[in-house]
Amino acid sequence: MKIRQENRKDYGEVYNVIKQAFLSAEHSDGTEQDLVVALRKGVSFIPDLSLVSVENNKIIGHILFTKITIGSNVELALAPLSVLPDYQKRGIGSALITEGHRIAKTLGYDYSVVLGNPRVYGKAGYVPASTYGIKPPFAVRDENFMAIKLNRDAKTLEGVVKYDNAFGID
């Protein structure tokens, strides 16, 4: 398996990967693939942090990190992470997260937030975002709104996350 930056030629295949990955997801509204299309057009899109995993010339996974603000700080949101159903539970999602974090650190980001299952994202080092003074802009259980400190010297933040408008969160 190889992980590389997504390019425009990948968009159709990535759309399908995301759609297939979320078909049987417990918490999905079925529009994750459309969210990615919208995020690519927005100011929060970071091409370096839209990654695909490829096996035998087939895209089998995708991850996207986009800019958010927490107070006056620009940080990242991981959303979504997608792996084709036949390739899940093989470490592909973990590999995408690890590579995304590595790139994010080199780009100077200190934190990433994610809304998801703590059993999945906890393995990658995510903890309740409240640990770092980061608050969600919506009602959610503390254990499901998580963050990771990418830079150990980063200051603790205080504030509410402001997502890209494409997320539809006011």
Question: How far is residue 145 CA from its own chain's centroid?
Answer: 12
pLDDT attached to residue 24 = 74
8 found inside a domain: yes
pLDDT digits (tens, 9 = 90+) for 127-142: 999 999 999 999 999 9
In the numeric block, which tokens belong to residue 145?
């709104």
pLDDT attached to residue 82 = 96
pLDDT attached to residue 21 = 94
Backbone angles phi, psi at 158, to 5 degrees: -130, 120
Backbone angles phi, psi at 50, to 5 degrees: -115, 100
- Please determine, for residue 165, whether its predicted confidence score (pLDDT) is greater than 80: yes
20 found inside a domain: yes
pLDDT attached to residue 113 = 98
Q: Look at strands 2-5 and 45-55 and give their pairing.
A: antiparallel
Backbone angles phi, psi at 5, to 5 degrees: -70, 140
Query: Which CATH number characterizes residue 35's domain?
Result: 3.40.630.30
pLDDT attached to residue 169 = 86
**For the residues 33-46, what does the mean pLDDT come to?**
96
156 found inside a domain: yes
What range defines the domain where residue 95 resides?
A: 2-165
Identify the band that residue 156 occupies on the pLDDT scale cut at 50, 70 and 90. confident
**What is the pTM (predicted TM-score) of this model?**
0.95
**For the residues 33-54, what does the mean pLDDT come to?**
97
Question: Which residues lie across from 134 on neighbouring strands?
Answer: 159
170 found inside a domain: no
pLDDT digits (tens, 9 = 90+) for 83-109: 999 999 999 999 999 999 999 999 999
Task: Provide the number of structural domains found in the chain.
Answer: 1
